[in-house]
Amino acid sequence: MSEQITRFDLPQSEIPHAWYNIQADLPRPLPPVLHPGTHQPIGPADLAPLFPMALIMQEVSQDRYIEIPEEVREIYKLWRPTPLMRAYRLEKALDTPAHIYYKYEGVSPSGSHKLNTAVPQAYYNKMEGVQGLSTETGAGQWGTALSQACNFFGLECIVYMVKISYQQKPYRRAIIQTFGAKVTASPSDTTNAGRSILAKDPDSTGSLGIAISEAVEVAATSGGRLKYALGSVLNHVLTHQTVIGQEALKQLEIAGEYPDVVIGCAGGGSNFAGVALPFVQKNLTEGKTTRIIAVEPAACPSLTRGTYAYDFGDTVGMTPLVKMHTLGRDFIPAPLHAGGLRYHGMASIVCELYDQGLIEAQAIPQLETFSAALQFLRAEGIVPAPEPSHAIAATIREALAAKAAGEKRLILFNLCGHGHFDMAAYDAFLSGQLVDYEYPQEQIEAALAALPQI
Amino acid sequence: MSEQITRFDLPQSEIPHAWYNIQADLPRPLPPVLHPGTHQPIGPADLAPLFPMALIMQEVSQDRYIEIPEEVREIYKLWRPTPLMRAYRLEKALDTPAHIYYKYEGVSPSGSHKLNTAVPQAYYNKMEGVQGLSTETGAGQWGTALSQACNFFGLECIVYMVKISYQQKPYRRAIIQTFGAKVTASPSDTTNAGRSILAKDPDSTGSLGIAISEAVEVAATSGGRLKYALGSVLNHVLTHQTVIGQEALKQLEIAGEYPDVVIGCAGGGSNFAGVALPFVQKNLTEGKTTRIIAVEPAACPSLTRGTYAYDFGDTVGMTPLVKMHTLGRDFIPAPLHAGGLRYHGMASIVCELYDQGLIEAQAIPQLETFSAALQFLRAEGIVPAPEPSHAIAATIREALAAKAAGEKRLILFNLCGHGHFDMAAYDAFLSGQLVDYEYPQEQIEAALAALPQI
């Protein structure tokens, strides 16, 4: 009697040797990134104060595959390939004919997919003689990943952590410090940006926008000693994350399956793109017809209710202008617990795919995502982070739709991280203290009215 | 060019089909467990109010292998087989010719090895019509595991959590509740035991001993509706944990290696036994000569400084009398952060092996264990729990000894859990607030003087 297999492992030799760069396969090129002053397309030199040239070149590369350096693959081996699991017990709980698979990125030492890009970012900076990296962190996943990556390559790491998170999440701060990073609550008195905020409001609890400004300032004024690192949104970040989808393709092949639907949550867009892009490629180049769904919070619906226009990447308005689905940089998302999805814009690659009708998007309210998380964890054991709980909620919707249609349908979703540092959110949910946030149309329109005129 | 492999996976079909029961291979039988009143050996009927008969029979079984029920193996598949990793980067950091391997049990949904026994315990209770389980938890690993296991089998779960932990570890409480368990801070007013403590000291912050008394009382007075579950010490618990060592044996075979040294931390003794017993078997029956080392905290040195005598398993003196290496039930271990190792006694099986010279023991001070944890996590990425950090410290000692001797030596240790819920301990260590605890000989002797006279 052959037994039910629910986990599909790959040996370390099957860690991809190249990242997949979808720019080579897009039906039309990405809109150019514009200089905030001149509104003219920026060139590599404009980005050189902040990023190493290798990453700038990846940002605009049209090569389909970018080789993964051996030093990066060696570190990937600490947790990759990640498991592909068949959620057999969830299927039974839902009584659905759908087959549900999830790729589990929470096995990484940082607990999420973020380490997939933190490691190569640290590597390329190290290769170009940079001595350290500055960054911001809100929910803390990215700060954890970058501190680990810098530790592996002997780089200094400076993390500006949004003050309210710094205070409310002492264990997140602690794990970042454990890997040797210097964590500063933002706004701080260590930068002009921070001091100017504190002068106006000494009790400011900070924001991701302010923390970005501080991290960028520290790098830009370091005389080349430090550079800056971003954990999502940029093309090279999404490209690095394609190891997720590439592995999932091979693992599904072992399982003898191919997905009808691929689902990921989307804040900046990198974990969604990581699982999705290799399947988008199959749709574009091999005639596959997989539905690809980006799931965002109803409280921060950049794809489903934003507009596709040029906007700043940050809140303060210091970055280049990027064409993206945005709610406007003045949009302040409600304090939902999926902190990693509270971003007014979206990665350019994801937006272009959405605009071209190559992917779908859904917005799901907070309470539905926590209910879905609870159903998932009681079936499968793993406590998901609030962000991928959006992907779980969409998966459950699709599995129930398959049941209603009486069709098998194969669903793959990306479980991009565990929720071990998010138990306060579960506590709030279980005690009935969580609420849904919805925005009236006029509020969305007011935020969009403030977009820069390009 | 063949690349360095650092992870050795097994397919789900290689999850063991039987637990290994070392009672079949012991050179002399375990000393009998005695009734606390009569001092006569107890029989199965004496334990029936607390445990299902299947587990009582496993407790005294002389069968070498006990078949793992298919329902248990199905749930094991959520995380087993666990990975065996070669700590290649740690070897380099130590510049040692030793080969260091670790079995990583932290990938379980509960974050530790505890789920290996929680699942079968819940299963056997369910099979015998029990409706729920009561237990105690201190550090929280066991409460988490039992709440998950009860959830999988639809059993009620009642957890008495030591009040100081309940207050200091709200996220541990939350994850236990997330799986549907009822968590009560102990001492509580829900039991006679709790009420009598509160009458004497309304501000009592509790102890594991008190929590055991409450959990046992709730089960014993439930009229058979509830039974009690223990997460370590008992023979059947250690037997269930042998899946760890059995898998490690197969994985090392794939790696083409066999250990010179096997290391595990020991509090009650179950994770140590889990990794060690299959290798002890090879020593006993196949002439292998692997050194097997149990590592305990210097602040709770039951093997290295206790005496081998009959003692109560709990602090209050309600349990049967067990012959074990003990510091005496009046011994109050210092508040070290490895809460899972703060036990005055030790599993009978481990004690008998130690008394017969079949295993070694080491006691390591707290600061050395946290230094070792830091060295490990900065090399390998994973943040270990404070308990297995004792095994890491002993591993580093052995690896440096191998270097001094100029010998290869193969070391295997059990990384029994991650430290995601222990970041406060790392915080204290990094800020220089941790101390070592040592006990003067007269203090040990005073505790031992109170042992029951058998």
- ipTM for the complex shown: 0.96
Q: Can you give the pLDDT at residue A1?
A: 44
Closest by Cβ to B430, choosing from A6, A177, A426:
A177
pLDDT in the model for residue A315: 75
Per-residue confidence (pLDDT) for residue A10, from 0 to 100: 97
Give chain A positions within 8 Å (CB) of B174: 423-424, 426-427, 430
Return the percentage of chain A with pLDDT > 70, whole number: 100
Residue at A296 is within a domain: yes
Q: How far apart are CA B190 and CA B158, in angstroms?
A: 11
Minimum Cα–Cα distance from A2: chain B residue? B13
Q: First-to-last CA distance in chain A?
A: 66
Chain B residues lying within 8 Å of A72, measured CB to CB: none
DSSP helix/strand/coil, A262: strand
**Separation between Cα atoms, residue A127 and residue A404, nearest integer Å:** 54
Q: Minimal Cα distance from A115: which residue of B?
A: B381
- Choosing among A420, A421, A429, A431, which should be mutated to test the B contact, i.e. which has the most B CBs within 10 A? A420
> Would you state the pLDDT for residue A393?
98
Share of chain B above pLDDT 90, in %: 86
Residues of A in contact with B151 (CB under 8 A): 378
What is the band of B259 on the pLDDT scale with cuts at 50, 70, 90? very high
A78, A171, A430: residue with CB nearest B178: A430
Taking the C-alpha atoms of residue B226 and residue B51, their distance in angstroms, rounded to an integer, is: 9
* The pLDDT value given to residue A94: 98
What average pLDDT score do residues B52-62 get?
97
Q: Which chain B residues have a beta carbon less than 8 Å from that of A9?
A: 9, 11
* Phi, psi of A392, deg, nearest 5: -65, -45
> Do A447 and A331 touch, CB atoms closer than 8 A?
yes
A321-326 vs B7-8, strand pairing mode: unpaired
Place of tokens 């830091």: B374
Task: Write out pLDDT tens, residues B333-387.
Answer: 788 888 888 888 999 999 999 999 999 999 999 999 999 999 999 999 999 999 9
Task: For B280-302, write each residue's pLDDT tens digit.
Answer: 999 999 999 999 999 999 999 99
d(CA A401, CA A409): 10
Residues of A in contact with B170 (CB under 8 A): 423-424, 427
Cα A83 to the center of its chain, rounded Å = 19
What does the alpha-carbon distance between residue B328 and residue A35 come to, in Å, rounded to a whole number? 74
**Are A383 and A377 contacting, i.e. CB atoms less than 8 angstroms apart?**
yes
Domain extent for A245: 7-14+69-111+236-448
Residue A438 has pLDDT above 90, yes or no: no
Question: Please, which pLDDT band fits residue B2 given cuts at 50, 70 and 90?
Answer: low
Pairing of strands A132-137, B182-186: unpaired
DSSP H helical ranges for B154-294: 163-168, 170-178, 192-200, 208-220, 235-240, 243-255, 270-286
Q: Out of A77, A178, A423, whose CB is closest to B430?
A: A178
Distance from CA of A6 to the nearest CA of B (A): 7
Long-range contacts of B443-449 (CB under 8 A, 24+ apart): B444/B305, B444/B306, B444/B327, B444/B331, B447/B327, B447/B328, B447/B330, B447/B331, B447/B344, B448/B306, B448/B307, B448/B309, B448/B326, B448/B327, B448/B328, B449/B328
Look at residue A49 in the predicted model and tell me its pLDDT.
93
Mean pLDDT of B231-242: 97
Minimum-distance CB partner of B381 among A7, A148, A382: A148
**What is each CA distance from B90 to A122, A405, B95, B350, B396, in whole angstroms?**
20, 53, 8, 29, 9
Under DSSP, is residue A34 helix (H, G, I), strand (E, B) or coil? strand
CATH code, domain carrying B342 = 3.40.50.1100
Based on the structure, what is the number of domains in chain B?
1
**Is B277 a domain residue?**
yes
CA distances from B274 to A435, B262, B294 (A): 45, 11, 11
Query: Has residue A453 got a pLDDT over 70?
Result: yes
Residue B90 lies in a domain: yes
Q: Do the beta carbons of residue A303 and residue A358 sit within 8 Å?
A: no
Q: Which of A385, A384, A318 is nearest to A140 (CA)?
A: A385
Q: Are A140 and A435 in contact (CB under 8 A)?
A: no
> Does residue B302 contact residue B326 with C-beta atoms inside 8 Å?
yes
B367 vs B36: which has the higher pLDDT: B367
Spell out which residues of chain B touch residue A109, defining contact as CB-CB under 8 Å: 377, 380-383
Lowest mean pLDDT, pick from A7-11, A35-39, B414-418:
A35-39
Residues A276/A262, Cβ–Cβ less than 8 Å: yes
Nearest to A378 among B74, B151, B175 (CB): B151
**Chain B: closest CA distance from residue A40 (Å):** 43
Give the 3-state secondary structure percentages of chain A, helix then strand then coil, rounded to 5.
45, 15, 40
pLDDT (tens digit per residue) in A350-375: 999 999 999 999 999 999 999 999 99
Residues of A in contact with B180 (CB under 8 A): 378
In contact, B263 and B295? CB cutoff 8 Å: yes
> Which chain B residues touch A170 with a CB distance below 8 Å?
423-424, 427
Q: How far is CA A210 from CA A177, A215, A221, A286, in A?
A: 21, 9, 17, 44
**Parallel/antiparallel/unpaired status of strands B261-265 and B291-297:** parallel
For B211, half-sphere exposure in the C-beta direction (CA atoms, 13 angstrom radius) is 28
Scanning B37-95, the segments in alpha helix (DSSP H) are 44-47, 53-60, 70-76, 88-94
Q: In chain B, what residues touch A424 (CB-CB under 8 Å)? A: 170-171, 174
Contact yes or no for A426 and B79 at CB 8 A = no
What single DSSP character describes residue B335? Answer: -
In a domain, A334, yes or no: yes
Chain B residues near residue A108 by CB distance under 8 angstroms:
381
Q: Do B420 and A111 touch (CB under 8 A)?
A: yes
Name beta bridge partners: A234. none
Evaluate whether residue A453 is within a structural domain.
no
Yes or no, beta carbons of B420 and A421 under 8 Å apart: yes
pLDDT tens for B163-202 read 988 998 899 999 999 999 999 999 999 999 999 999 999 9
* Mean pLDDT within B89-117: 98
For residues B212 and B192, give the distance between their C-alpha atoms in angstroms, rounded to a whole number: 13
Beta strands in A45-168 (DSSP E): 65-67, 84-86, 99-104, 132-137, 156-162
User: What is the arithmetic mean of pLDDT over B246-255?
Assistant: 98
* Domain annotation covers residue A325: yes
Contact A170 B383 (CB under 8 A): no
Q: What is the DSSP string of B340-381?
A: GG--SS--HHHHHHHHTTSSEEEEE-HHHHHHHHHHHHHHH-
Cα dihedral sign, A39-A42-A46-A51: positive
Write out chain A residues lying below 8 Å of B9, CB-based: 9, 11
Question: If residue A432 lies in a helix (H) or strand (E), which one and from where to where?
Answer: none
pLDDT for residue A442 is more than 90: no
Cβ distance of B109 and A380 shorter than 8 Å: yes
Does the distance separating the beta carbons of B180 and A79 come in below 8 Å? no
Among residues B172, B204, B174, which one has the least CA distance to residue B189?
B204
H/E stretch holding B161:
strand B156-162
B329 within some domain = yes
Question: What's the pLDDT band for A2 if we cut at 50, 70, 90?
Answer: low
Which residues does B contribute to its contact with A (CB < 8 Å)? 3-7, 9, 11-13, 74, 77-79, 89, 107-111, 148, 151-152, 170-171, 174-175, 177-180, 374, 377-378, 380-383, 420-421, 423-424, 426-427, 430
| pTM exceeds 0.90, yes or no | yes
Instruction: Tell me if B374 and A178 make a contact (CB, 8 A cut-off).
Output: yes
A105 CA: distance to closest CA in chain B (Å): 12
In a domain, A411, yes or no: yes
pLDDT confidence tier of residue B449, bands split at 50, 70 and 90: confident
CB B425 within 8 A of CB B419: yes
Confidence of residue B231 (pLDDT cuts 50, 70, 90): very high
What is the pairing mode between strands B156-162 and B132-137? parallel
What's the whole-number average pLDDT of chain A?
A: 95
